[in-house]
Amino acid sequence: MTSTLIWIAVALFAIGLYLSWTAGRLDRLHARIDAARAALDAQLLRRASVAQELATSGVLDPAASIVLYEAAHAARQAEEEQREVAESELSQALRAIFGEIQQVEAVREAPGGDEAATELAAAVRRVPMARRFHNDSVRAARALRRHRKVRWFRLAGHAPFPMAFEMDDEPPVALADRAGA
């Protein structure tokens, strides 16, 4: 009888230890999502800021400046529910303006344009990486939260279900080519 109680206690302790480890793992995944989202937000803000600076610098033609400024401003001011759409529209504006290498070369030839084009190319290149890192973290947390043990024992606590950040982040071909160079 005593040995049975000891084995039950050991089994309960092992199960508790395993559940505690799983809850800790889930907590670390949620912290990783928060850090990845902060990095993504920083990269999106940097891209919008650089685009806005470039739009107001006078290196672009007036029509391109207006389109780029409005898209960048909308991306910076967007509410959380509209953020993905606004960032996608900024990506589309960047592709429309910098779709051809001639436009990028014209910007680079203008005074101060080389630094602006280089900074924009770097910002445009970092956004997809930050978004991929964030979405990978979300995917891992979702996979763990789908397990029965996590749902039955409510190991996620009151943490909201993680959501991926889906946007059009394809860089303009001319800027992507220059970013690697």
CB of 25 closer than 8 Å to CB of 123 = no
- Write the CB contacts of 112 (distance below 8 Å, at least 6 apart in sequence): 57, 59
What does pLDDT average to over the chain?
Answer: 93
DSSP state of 161: P
Residue 61 CB: number of other CB atoms within 10 A? 11
The confidence score (pLDDT) of residue 177 equals 63
pLDDT at 99 over 90: no
Per-residue CA distances from 174 to 22, 124, 169 (Å): 46, 11, 14
pLDDT in tens, 36-81: 999 999 999 999 999 999 999 888 889 999 999 999 999 999 999 9
The pTM (predicted TM-score) of the whole model is 0.89
pLDDT at 97 over 70: yes
Q: Which of 167, 169, 65 is nearest to 116 (CA)?
A: 65
CB of 50 closer than 8 Å to CB of 71 = no
